[in-house]
Structure 1
Amino acid sequence: MDQVDLGGASWRKATASGDNGQCVEVATNLPGVVAVRDSKDPSGPALAFTPAQWRSFIGRVNTGAFDV
């Protein structure tokens, strides 16, 4: 995926994440892109996925494929 302009991203994090800063933020409002960043470093780098890639990743997380 090429570099993506995230200027219009609306970032959100899970309501259960609390205020400890140990979470990621996700933006799903950009066409064809799901962006993910570290909530402790909002000006830092972000990862950009296609919606299909993001669904696949979340599906694997939900089935316990990763040690999280």
Structure 2
Amino acid sequence: MKTSIEVAGNVKAALARRGVTQATAAAELEMSRVAFSRRVTGKVPFDVAELEALSVILRVPYRSLVEVQEEA
């Protein structure tokens, strides 16, 4: 699976666990909802600074957002 899609899934899961909407997260990152949506769907990869900010916003470890499964 593509890394950007796996990272997007991690972000979606963290948002759901914390009860944070995509609109709220987008506003916190100072980006449009459309731009955030593109990242959450894996169409555009998150950059490191965005993931670092999300880890603070969501109060989760950075590694939980970037962890991907290795292919066998």
Does TM, normalized by the shorter one, top 0.5?
Answer: no
Work out which structure has the larger RCO, using CA pairs closer than 8 Å and 6 or more positions apart in sequence. Answer: 2
**Structure showing the higher helix proportion among its residues:** 2
**Structure showing the higher strand proportion among its residues:** 1
TM-score (norm 1): 0.28
Q: Which has the larger radius of gyration?
A: 1
